[in-house]
Amino acid sequence: MTRVKFLSNRESLSGFEIIGHSSDDCNDFEGKIVCAAVSSAAYMTANTITEIIGDECDIDVDDAKMRVSVKNPSQRTIAVLEGLKLHLTELSKQYSKRIKITTEV
């Protein structure tokens, strides 16, 4: 299962952490599709925040793990993070056994 934790600085979203795979094994086609969707959305979010908006982040990426923590999120970055949260929340409704969403304050 993929676990998505949204980070909050009490006022707004300030990042996210994604851990795990949505697939059970290498033959799990649906799980691979869901995993790819989550990964693509996460990378697009991270790249938009750092390369388009230009906000400073701490980023840690490893196998089955991505953590993006924005130091001082601008309103544009907060909007992008809210968009990611909406996207992954809707995806988790469709694939509830593959994605779990939480928020950490």
Would you give the end-to-end CA distance of the chain in angstroms? 22
pLDDT at residue number 21: 87
**Can you tell me the distance from the alpha carbon of 34 to that of 23, in angstroms, rounded to the nearest whole number?**
8
Closest CA to 21 of 100, 87, 103, 104: 100
Model's pTM, two decimal places?
0.93
Report pLDDT digits (tens) over 26-85.
Answer: 788 898 999 999 999 999 999 999 999 999 999 999 988 999 999 999 999 999 999 999
Q: What total number of domains does the chain contain? A: 1
Q: Which domain holds residue 34?
A: 2-104
Query: What is the domain-level CATH number for residue 79?
Result: 3.30.70.1490
pLDDT at residue number 23: 82
Closest CA to 80 of 54, 101, 61: 54
Q: Say if residues 89 and 102 touch (Cβ distance below 8 Å).
A: no
| Count of beta carbons in the 10 Å neighbourhood of residue 2 | 25
Q: Say if residues 70 and 56 touch (Cβ distance below 8 Å).
A: yes
pLDDT at residue number 99: 95
Report pLDDT digits (tens) over 8-22.
Answer: 988 899 999 999 988
